[in-house]
Structure 1
């Protein structure tokens, strides 16, 4: 063993000696010293800069294009820069430019007036790692003349304006924002000057007329480190625009504060910015619908029941409490008085996405009412989101037929279904007025005439008087009249009078009704010779399919674009779509509510001729996380037109409202149905129903089909999202065999349509078993006993037998004891 250890030590000593010898063989050449071979195998083919003008103090990027030799394959190439007038920014030399690629960008700064730059490439030889190969290239940069005289680069610019930096918001379009909503403004800032601007602060200054709120003043400030010549940066501002802000165009400002290059003092400038505010959805918007009164025609001196629904469907937030009352209106002259002393009704909550609340009042009609309609003023008092108390008044009109003496012998004719122009009518454009004459009285109407007349500036183009010889009770007569504004017509709403008269006022009282038509004057349209009027493109019609879109699904939009101008053609129409952002705190759920399907968000129309409409069909996708409400699909319409041989451009913004609802969903717990049961024997099921969707399930109902049930149909009310409700019942069947039924869940979906879902349940129902040993004889049904009763009888029998046995044992014991005692007595006597 000792010899073996000696051998090992000797071997280690030998290895050490050999190592020393190897080191000694490299004497005179350290490991860091390598042979350097200068070559020209790497040459710069081309170079360019990201700045058009370079001068002392200018920072820029220099991109060089070079050839990479095969000898440097897989080798790192190092780059070095040497110049008296340029330095490399943010990088240490030499720069490792990697093993691949044939171009490289160097961040540079000019510090002098000599444009010469020496660029050296170096790498180790592929065949010999000890050999470093270098290539030197020289390039020349053209420098701008920044000297006031010919002496070097230390002078100043002869034109001081060259150092001015100009910051502007380019391509400024007037943004349209909605009162009562969160606003996100986005602009593009450009450095339109010659020099870099640093430490830029851009502040948005709303006018004092705009009522806005912001969580932080930083939401109105953008800070930008620097902007070079022609560079741009995005500006974003956010705030909440209160619903009380009136709809109009406001003049705001952008305030710039920045340091030009080499400047010690900041520069401050402002730029005007215009913002258009449109009327938004109010916090609370109370309306009266489903107005009805009984009887439908009020009689003087009698009771009338007035009912209506108060809803807040056009508002944007809940209103906690609404006090509904009938106002004591002096102008009403006590036509109606309150019965039972109840003059008000309290509504605890009104939600925009829920049905309204029905309110009923009992009124007494004055005995002095004559034939006609009479007003009832409804006062709605509530507090808005800012806790300010407000009162809204609505007028309802009740029709009275007057007293019997007054109506005797009178004929009643009504004008209904009036159709008139809803838009603008030009001075030379004809239009129609049509309506129905209906005999709503109890007698035939005879010998009356209908006339329709405009004012002096709107004249009839057809016969404007019609004589009607007779009109049976309930019969209808449809009439149409044509009118046209004169060239002298002024811009206003002109009244068209509809008048019905009979032979005598006593038998046929005169009835009048007015229709308004808005006419645009000739002089406001501008003379075509001057050719100064601007064509406008409008969305004259659009349809959605389906009308209400489910989140996460596609819908079709059919849009019709119309050129409203009479003589000018619009060309090169570019229409861009942009949807509002989904307001979700989860970043994964954010993004545009709508996106185009199988197309881009921009489409083109070559031209639209005067008064022409052109349709476009689009398919849009709604993101799954879109909130259930009305979202806007925004359109930017850019087009060109010619004015006095000059081509002008215009951009118009418009929106299409799209109602989006979240799909409804619910789940139930697992429950078991017995595989077998007996006829008439009940079994229980217990359901736990949870709303897992994002909308309320209104009027939720559970119904049993195919089985007898203790609770066959149950109304569970409105199931809010995230909530759980329960349903219990006992089921049974009076039929044998395999019985199949259903549990039917039904509710009103978010789109107002009924929805239902079925869940199948089935079991095998068997006949009740009969015990043949229970004493039932053939043909003797009186001895039949059900199993439960037989079981009870057997139990009783066992108890009786046990009791008899116990008594027997006791008797036996007593008898035995007496015999023993008697025997003892006999023995004693002996």
Structure 2
């Protein structure tokens, strides 16, 4: 009993706290729902005690703590005083179901049991009540009596019994449940309507107004009720209360009203509209300064509900960047859920722009079908093409130097050409020569070039001589050209220098004849490369001839190491960076082979390979010497060509477009690039395309128009010819095939010879009007004209697509 008293005190304490601190208006209307109940004894009479099991569920969507349930004093029942006056349910997690048991006593009047739930939700106290109607002993419905009878006391009572079934198809919801008259009095003219007092209700009637009429429900009788509802599109999935208003009468004409609440599960996968920037298509795809271009902005609705009154505003314009040709605002009336929509803008790139990309802010405003507003913002960087004013590209070509031995005090020449193989005129170039000690340049060593037009070359020659005391060895001569580099868009201007090396071998015989005990020297007197040139990214073998120039002294313990300028040459795995020679006799040679690998990104020019010698003479005296040789590097040409497009159909005598894209994927310029088309067909004039110098990273497209002159499968090819950086001519051929048909329709050799009877009398001109032959001729001419227009449209579309691809790839 002490335990019961303690629990009762705790329950009373909880109730007092709730009476003081609970804001009933804020309680969740469906935080806890009663799923059903079960009586241990039916038809209880006054004073009867019985047990009641109540089945409940936490439908709040979150955890409820310190949950207690008690019986309201207004009920027709009370909890047996020997039991706790409140049941403790503890903590209920979201969606948790449970059962609690009450020991009840019937007061003798009515059948209402009101249960009050007290709990904490989100740290704040809350309270919720729900009324059940229990089975009590029935009273007999009175017969017509005297005037003293108060018939309004004969009130029918209803209770939702059994399971509530719901079936949902999209937004349409069908709800079925049984309602039972639990009183001893018949209910007449029952009207059931859906309460519309809450704007938060997720339900609407399918017909705009819900009203169900039932003639009669007798005592202790059930009736199936079917409701057709529509779920509001923005409703989240969950369990929701549906309040029903009942209006009815008894057998004596008295009118009553009451309400019932049922709980309905809703599964709603609808999502509010949500617009994203799917992409922007520009034409041209990389506009240059001063260009007008169109921007097609594509939006995608990730929601399932429609977006209404879509407004797109472009912002961030400036007079020295990008600005709109019109207002910069565009509209879409509706963008359906899961669909995409495009809005077009006409924009202009200022000729003062000085950046590679320009940011455009995109503001998107829209509404859903309920009038709720949304807004999104995106930023897109418009790529800017460098204004096509051409580009300077120089190379040093046709170098000539003595191939034999050069003697001291004898003049020799080194000649070469400087070629502008770019597309823009060069100005303010400087050409100069640098040599090692032992050589002198007798000509003016620095020459200025005021201008050099695109494709033009200028020849130079310089006179050199070896000094009287020049050491016998190979001397590198550096040819340097410095010119102004205009810089790319948005980058600073600067100077660009190219350098090529040429070597001459000086042999000083007087020194050797004069000195029999002089310092022994070893040199590289000749060398050769197996492939003629070092190719970037590949290995090459070099053969070195190492000469002991002294006539009398042997050298030994010779160590030779190698180091290339800019690290462009690295020893291969099978070769080391150092070689060793035991002995080189006086005046003798030793030949060694080494393998190097060239860096893949080496620019096509000559590089110095520096050679260090360490050796001893016959008296074990140590010496060191340095040599260098020049090795030219080439880059492999990589001209990539797309698949050839030839349209959909081809007919004899009709023009067929042949289009393709091509790209320089290598690191060297393709000079004098020419593109032609050839094959078993006629070619429209102007189909040859001279590209000129095709720089690395550049892309372009080619189109030709051919006219087939025979039926069946015909073959053709597009031929590319160009010069590499060695001046050699290369040719690449891309083949294609086309199936040619005889014609798009009937071929009429002589329309005047067509027999009118061929048309089965359908073109009989006996009733007057145009003669049949004239009508047929006009029809044939019209057919040819229509075909011509269709072909023209296809060609124009192909050309437009090719240009768009060009801009994109560039």
Indicate whether the TM-score tops 0.5: no
- TM-score bin, normalised by smaller chain: 0.3 to 0.5
Q: TM-score, normalised by structure 1?
A: 0.32
